[in-house]
Amino acid sequence: MCGVGTGPDDLQLTTVPTTSPQATIDQIIAFFRDQAGRELSAVGIGAFGPVDLHPESPTFGFITSTPKVGWQQYDLASTLYRALQVPIGFDTDVNAAAAGEARWGAGRGLPNFLYLTVGTGIGGGALVNGEVIHGLLHPEMGHIRIPHDLAADPFPGSCPYHKDCLEGLASGPAMQARWGKRAQELPADHPAWALEAHYLALGLATWVCTVSPERILLGGGVMQQASLFPMIRQELLRLLNGYIDAKPLLNEIDSYVAPPELGNRAGVLGAMVLAEHIYRNPSARIGAPLAGEDAWR
């Protein structure tokens, strides 16, 4: 998803399918070059990952060990820099979405919250003290290990790295592999949803206890099943069992575990926040060109 503008009100969007890197990036570049009469100041990228976010690394701005065919070790950020010649801000898709929700959505005014997407994969971005977490690599919240009762759920899990990590048990493809139907086709009263709520609540309980978010936003294709929200809230409270004595959790659970306000625009609006950040903070210009050089850092 590509967008141009200064915020939600003047955002112009287009979507291109993710196919081969060459075909996909050619369409993205064409979209940005095509903005007749509007001058780009900077570009922000929220990329599927894993990605390299370390400015001193030779593969900074690359997509690294993704299972997506053709995209392993792909030099995404500098390819766009060479084509567009503007500063590039770069982060994961979920960190970007968290930044978008922080600025214009359900994370406004909250220095600590989580954004989680549950769809073809599971990924999370965490804002802590007003900044998205990077650290060693970047959070890979979908790949935490959770209790898996094989007697209740014999499905072995679908993650190519871990089998039954959270993503391997609860992503859209895991649901499809377990039940033989796409998540969208499973009716609201199907037992799939109680199991899904249980697994997601196990993840949420872990992050409540480790990251202490003030709110948790759940987006992505699987979360379009609206009946999942109350089930997750109830299961989260059951798992925590009264131990976390905090008003937003105990008294305001409907807004504590909530959908993102920006919907599927959270990521692209967050990328705009990344672009603005790189534009306004020249000293922090990860991705700014050095004077006179055709290098993006």
List residues near Zn ion by CB under 5 A.
143, 159, 161-162, 165
Considering the complex, what minimum distance in angstroms separates the CB of residue 198 from Zn ion?
18
Q: Which is nearer to Zn ion, 159 or 192 (CB)?
A: 159
Supply the Cα-derived Rg of the chain in whole angstroms.
20
Considering the complex, what minimum distance in angstroms separates the CB of residue 142 from Zn ion?
7
Distance CA 241, CA 51 (A): 37
Q: Give per-residue burial for 131-170: e unless 16+ CB within 10 Å, then b.
A: ebbeeeebbbbbbbebebeeeeeebebbbeebebbbbbbb
Q: Which is nearer to Zn ion, 146 or 216 (CB)?
A: 146
Distance CA 72, CA 21 (A): 10
Considering the complex, what minimum distance in angstroms separates the CB of residue 31 from Zn ion?
33
Considering the complex, what minimum distance in angstroms separates the CB of residue 182 from Zn ion?
21
Strand ranges, E, within the chain: 2-4, 12-14, 43-47, 62-63, 74-75, 88-92, 113-118, 122-128, 131-132, 216-219, 257-258
Q: Which is nearer to Zn ion, 45 or 170 (CB)?
A: 170
DSSP labels, 39-93: ----EEEEE-SSB---TTSTTTTEE-S-SSTT-TTEEHHHHHHHHH-S-EEEEEH
Ramachandran bin of 275, using left for φ above 0, alpha for ψ from -120 to 50, beta for the remaining angles: alpha
Q: Give the dihedral sign, CA 36/40/46/47.
A: positive
Q: Which is nearer to Zn ion, 71 or 256 (CB)?
A: 71
Q: Which is nearer to Zn ion, 94 or 159 (CB)?
A: 159
Beta bridge partners of 145: 165
Considering the complex, what minimum distance in angstroms separates the CB of residue 137 from Zn ion?
14
Q: Which is nearer to Zn ion, 159 or 240 (CB)?
A: 159
Considering the complex, what minimum distance in angstroms separates the CB of residue 165 from Zn ion?
3
Q: Which is nearer to Zn ion, 44 or 157 (CB)?
A: 157
Considering the complex, what minimum distance in angstroms separates the CB of residue 129 from Zn ion?
28
